Amino acid sequence: MRLTTRSIGVIGNTRQTVLATVIVTAVGAGAQAQCTLGFNSPASHGAGGNPYAVAIDDFNRDGRWDVAVVNYGSNNVSILLGNGDGSLQNAASYAVGSTPQAVAARDFNGDGRPDLVVSNSGAYHVSVLIGRGDGTFAPAVDYGTSPMPMDVEVADFNGDQFPDLATVNLNPPTVSILLGAGDGTFLPAASFAVGYWGQPRALELSDLNGDGRQDVTVVNMMNNSVSVFLGNGNGTFGGETAFGAGAYPMCVESGDLNNDGRPDLCVGTDGGASLLVLTNNGDGTFATGSNYAVGTAALAMEDIDGDGDLDVCAVTGGTLSILAGKADGTLLPPVVFGAGHSASGIGVADLNADGRRDVTLANSGVNSNDVWVLLNTTTCAPGCDPDVNCDGAANGFDIEATEQAVNGDYSNFCQATADLNGDGAENGFDIETEEQRVNGGPC
């Protein structure tokens, strides 16, 4: 198990649920499901000083998700083991380098136990903590990078099946690649320049051109761009290609928003005040998509509403926004929940094993020392589809198939029941309902 990433209120000790209704398009010809997005009010769990970023994995191998959070104010990483019901145990913390800002989990030495890597933005290195498999970790071992690593991600860059590391470094603006030896250690970093004095803030790893090799995307805050470096498959990368990304881009995530098998990019831009979608052309280049007015200090791309399509989670300050994906590369308007205080990091996983993805936030504000867990309470009502014979079109053949089903012949009827009006009986009223639906009436 592994997941790495990024008005509700508490009244006394009670927990309230806040809901918002949003229509999301489900898979199928004309089918729509009505989903009520909701989260329980957040539960606070103590961490270190100024928690900044989150990684989620099963650190003690009990089948339950656990949380790791880096604390830039106390220079450590806190481990909060999950109880399997959405609650977390008290934090145990481990020292890392100066001003840590990112964390990722992966098995670096092949023993089946998740390990951690932390980027230390106030230093010249990353810290690697080898997991013992019981929720505890060995002391950190540091590996050099270029100065001020702001973000760290994990992938296999040279095809040897061992996890490698990539960091994006602020000054000078570079990307550092540390190839893994497979035993939990890493070779010396090789660095290359990015975004001429663009103050790079974050990076994302994915196969952007479909060649089976991991590529690197970097956001450059002062250059108003994202830089793409296509992987050569041997741990090296091709030259930089830059794409406009609005003013002051701060973060980036990748995922397939239009179900074409290509990872698209979501960029938190305008200094964290809006979200820009860049649609993948399939060759490592991008077309500019829609822009959404929503706070974006941190992003995650997950299926929050359970319709099978990726949604976007955006967090900033004290708000969590969910933008439901429409599977065509666009997003529905944000549904906003009050959450956290100066939240800067987000992790998404099903913490209570109810089949819905929950949200964990790192609160990095002044005097902040906690993470918040918001349990997902989203429900979706089954949608209706006028294409009852599943031929890809809604027309008179569907009315005929409904009539046949009402009379006992389901050979041309592909839905679970012919009771289309939900009155408990299959009869002429259902044929009339189908005729209305085929002619554009509401489901």
CB under 8 Å to 108, separation ≥6 — which residues? 115, 117, 128, 130, 162, 163, 180, 184
| Model pLDDT, residue 272 | 85
The mean pLDDT of the chain is 90
pLDDT digit string, tens, across residues 259-275: 999 999 999 998 889 99
pLDDT mean over 75-94: 98
pLDDT digit string, tens, across residues 12-64: 223 334 555 444 444 333 455 567 899 999 999 999 999 999 999 999 999 99
* Pairwise CA distance, residues 13 & 75, whole Å: 31
pLDDT at 422 over 90: no
Sign of CA dihedral 96, 97, 102, 106: negative
| Model pLDDT, residue 170 | 95
Q: Which two tokens stand for residue 299?
A: 């992003």
pLDDT at 8 over 60: no
Comparison of pLDDT for 410 and 127, the residue scoring more:
127
* CA 378 to chain CA mean position, Å: 17
pLDDT mean over 239-246: 95
* pTM, rounded to two decimals: 0.84
pLDDT mean over 67-87: 98
